[in-house]
Chains A and B, each alone.
Chain A
């Protein structure tokens, strides 16, 4: 009888103590990934970015472009710099991506896993950031006590990577670094997120460095110059025929 009371008491204390604790401090994996999406790629946003691609030979190439997103799966990109890329546009609608070439006045299908303008980001890194929809997240033990470690496994082969390891800071719940893997387990890219800034109420890293782990002298940096969220976006901006207009 006494034994039973003690057991019950122990069970009750475990339940009573655990539950509120989990609510307070430990977000679930899905909550974290959802937060990543909301911060890094809000459902409607208009942004101005620069990309600097560092090449194997030590030289760099700079790009400037505007990214416009509407809903979960529509993105459009306009390139302004360099001169050779001026007038080029990209569009993502669902699983489809195109690039518009001003010299041909025609759009050509591209893929999420191809390099974004020859740098170390992929097209999907810019136009397909919807980790909740594309990946199954799992919280795993992290050696770094200041960050949660998420293990994301692709749900669809259209996802930009097959597997991602994502570290998010416990203090601000913002991404710190990430590693991107091929299905074979080979490390393809690794990213660092820093320079946390607040753009009209949206607090997020303004600088991402993507290192090419297949050719380690290569890396590309993206810097956010401006972000507007909750913008009015006309739906006709996201139809193929609108490219080049």
Chain B
């Protein structure tokens, strides 16, 4: 067996040009597979972070039924934002922070034009503990942190529809929790836009929690509590633990439940990607079939000679399969290495992309899971071996006498 391997290696090295073709096909396929996967990993992770660390947080607490409610931002379904309630959440082991928010709709007025918009009221300091990427989403001006209470950040679309500029005083009019109209002045201190992911609602704004509580006459109340946890892998376990701690009047939802479309979109992306690289690999392996078949034709006399000196048909078969496997593995290892190098470089340098519909560009850092590299290596080697099966079988079935006499 070992001598067979030695002969196989020698054969591969002997037929340089042919080996190079097979090698290149596998090399390219693997480099591209690993490279694109790494890029997609970076993009998906960047988008996920942009949403989870920039908007939803890891877990959210609402009054039971709030998320299913037709009128999504119903203020009647509120919950206490008291220290006592927040402490009930933060004392659950594994919870790092909790921050109160109010989601509400309102009419923003500037220069006698009014636009309906959706607002999120945040406690600027607490919010950064649960959504650290909020600061990263400021596209112009300042965040709400250290800003006066009557300050707001608007999405570029909202600001544009009102013709509002930084420093403008706008008026936010809405119905309070009881339905009575109320209005407060909001100074536009900055504009915000999610990175990479287009917002589901274009006309949105951020205001301070204190302002919203006064506007909506909801002192000490909130519509949601956003919770961050130490270990993101234990999302569902933490969901259950917090649920137990706060009781059944409230419900805890993971970000997966709050933005279910995100992982669905990624799954669709992955399916498309797998299909594409599958076709790519298939074409590369067809190249392997072709070169191996050529090898068998070229080396018919050599096979005849081997058979006539007593080499078994099984061994001939094994020899050709081994040659293909060596080429597959070598091309695979080097291809994957090239792909990994490319991913590592891009990860270090960062790739900045502006995706359609998104307000701001997203800088992503590609990465690759070792498991994926091992998987594609095995796939390439096994694929190359399998592709060589038919040519190798042909070789092993040659009749020695005819093979010797062939040209």
Q: Which of chain A's residues has its CB closest to B71's CB?
A: A215
The reply to whether B112 and A109 form a contact with Cβ atoms under 8 Å apart is yes
Candidates B112, B178, B184; contact of A104 at CB < 8 Å: B184
* Smallest beta-carbon distance B4→chain A, Å: 75
- The contact string, 1 if C-beta is below 8 Å from chain A, for chain B 169-196, is 0010101101111111100000000000
Interface residues on B, range: 20 to 34
- Residue A144 lies at the interface, judged by CB distance under 8 Å to chain B: no
The reply to whether B178 and A101 form a contact with Cβ atoms under 8 Å apart is no
Complex Cα gap A114–B115 (Å): 12
Complex Cα gap A89–B36 (Å): 61
Interface residues on A, range: 20 to 34
Contacts of A84 in B (CB 8 A): 176, 178, 180, 182, 217
Complex Cα gap A111–B184 (Å): 18
Complex Cα gap A165–B184 (Å): 38
CB proximity to A under 8 Å, residues B172-226: 173, 175-176, 178-185, 217
Interface of B is mostly: strand
- The contact string, 1 if C-beta is below 8 Å from chain A, for chain B 33-77, is 000000000000000000000000000000000000011001010
Complex Cα gap A116–B397 (Å): 90
CB proximity to B under 8 Å, residues A70-113: 82, 84-85, 88, 99, 101, 103-104, 106, 108-111
Contacts of B107 in A (CB 8 A): 108, 110, 114
The reply to whether A108 and B183 form a contact with Cβ atoms under 8 Å apart is yes
The reply to whether A104 and B171 form a contact with Cβ atoms under 8 Å apart is yes
> Given A99-B173, A108-B114, A214-B70: A85 and B180 within 8 A (CB)?
yes
Candidates A56, A106, A114, A117; contact of B180 at CB < 8 Å: A117
* Smallest beta-carbon distance B113→chain A, Å: 7
- Residue A205 lies at the interface, judged by CB distance under 8 Å to chain B: no
- Residue B385 lies at the interface, judged by CB distance under 8 Å to chain A: no
Contacts of A27 in B (CB 8 A): none
**Contact sample, A vs B, 9 pairs, CB 8 Å cutoff:** A61-B180, A88-B181, A101-B173, A101-B182, A108-B171, A109-B114, A117-B175, A117-B179, A215-B70
Binding site for B on A (CB under 8 A): 53, 55-57, 61, 82, 84-85, 88, 99, 101, 103-104, 106, 108-111, 114-115, 117-119, 214-215
